[in-house]
Amino acid sequence: MFPFQFLNEVAADTVATAGFSEMMSTISGMSPDEIKQALTALVLSLTVKIIKVLFIWFVGRWVLKRIVKLIVLLLQKHIDNDSVRTFVISIVDVVVMILLILMIIGVLGIDTSSFIAIFASAGVAIGMALSGTLQNFAGGVMILLFRPFKVGDFIEAQGVAGTVKQIQIFNTVVHTGDNKVILLPNGAVSTGIINNYSREPKRRLDMTFSISYGNDFEKAKEVLLKLIAQDSRILNEPAEPFIVLGEMGASSIDIIVRVWCNQADYWGIKFDLNQKVYETFPQEGLEFPFQTFTVNVTKE
């Protein structure tokens, strides 16, 4: 193989040298005025192409932005799902940018058909290199098809909890409670565990309150039922409030409380009930336990 490779390299160098020699012989046969005219024509040609490229870039961007806005208006009229709209708009933005780049390549004199053919032939290699990105795109399609969540839902996925603002081509945009913007890859989200807290209108609130040993459990239960009855946000459907002695710990009696409420009232009830129990239990003679240890000292 080495002799053939060497001969191919020699042949290529010979062709390149011949082309360069031919160009130099052409230039050497020209007068200074002809060389000046040729350079001037070359500069003018490049200037015209640059002006055309800039014109197409700015005007094309302006026109394509108007087209995208028109598509957005059409989507808003015919598609009520915000998730689908944001996903389609992301795809349109990418397609529009590709079309604009192809137009500029055509103005520069590059054959776009050959460019597309080269791009297609490199598609396999690009696909392998961007396997994670393609997985995110497929994940976005799966999210739109099976709809585990939609724009506006409060979810927990990949260790992040927040409100879904956008479902883009490759990422899902989530705003957290402390106003951080998190981009979650669609591939990981679609294949991972998703907690959608907004899917059902009602939610069960589970809480645990502890009292010391020697306190009356029935009295504590009665106080909790009274506090629950005073809160109109707590529902009796799909089940009435549930209070039981859950566990006898090392230094406390743990009381489990389960109540139902609307999604919007979940955190308000949780914080308010904590405060009411903290203020009411001591007034009713119920003590909060402290962790205790028994130490035995042996004298030898």
pLDDT for 7 equals 39
- Are 144 and 86 a contacting pair, CB within 8 Å? no
72: amino acid identity, one letter: V
Residue-wise pLDDT for 215-251, tens only, equals: 999 999 999 999 999 999 999 988 999 999 999 988 8
Q: Which numeric CATH code is attached to 135-196? A: 2.30.30.60
CA within 13 Å, CB half, 154: 10
Bridge partners (DSSP) of residue 195 are 156
Quote the pLDDT of residue 116.
61
Q: How far apart are CA 249 and CA 148, in angstroms?
A: 39
202-283 has CATH 3.30.70.100 classification: yes
pLDDT at 3: 45
How much of the chain, in percent, has pLDDT values that exceed 90?
32
Mean pLDDT to the nearest integer, 252-273: 93
Cα angle: 228, vertex 250, 274; to 5 degrees: 25
The pTM of this model reads 0.54
> What rounded mean pLDDT belongs to the chain?
79
Q: Residue 37: pLDDT above 50?
A: yes
Does 211 have pLDDT greater than 70? yes
> Hey, do 135-196 and 202-283 end up sharing a CATH topology, with the first three levels equal?
no
Burial class (CB in 10 A: 0-12, 13-18, 19+), 273: buried
* Segment 47-59, tens digit of pLDDT: 777 777 777 777 7
Task: Tell me the domain boundaries of the chain.
Answer: 30-120, 135-196, 202-283
d(CA 167, CA 32): 63
Long-range pairs for 271-276: beta carbons < 8 A, 24 or more residues apart: 272/231, 273/207, 273/227, 273/228, 273/231, 274/207, 276/227
Query: Does residue 155 contact residue 161 with C-beta atoms inside 8 Å?
Result: yes
State the residue for tokens 């999210």. Answer: 143
| Largest separation between any pair of C-alpha atoms in the chain | 118
Model pLDDT for residues 58-78, shown as the tens digit of each residue: 777 787 777 777 777 776 665
In this predicted structure, the answer to whether residue 256 has a pLDDT above a threshold of 90 is yes
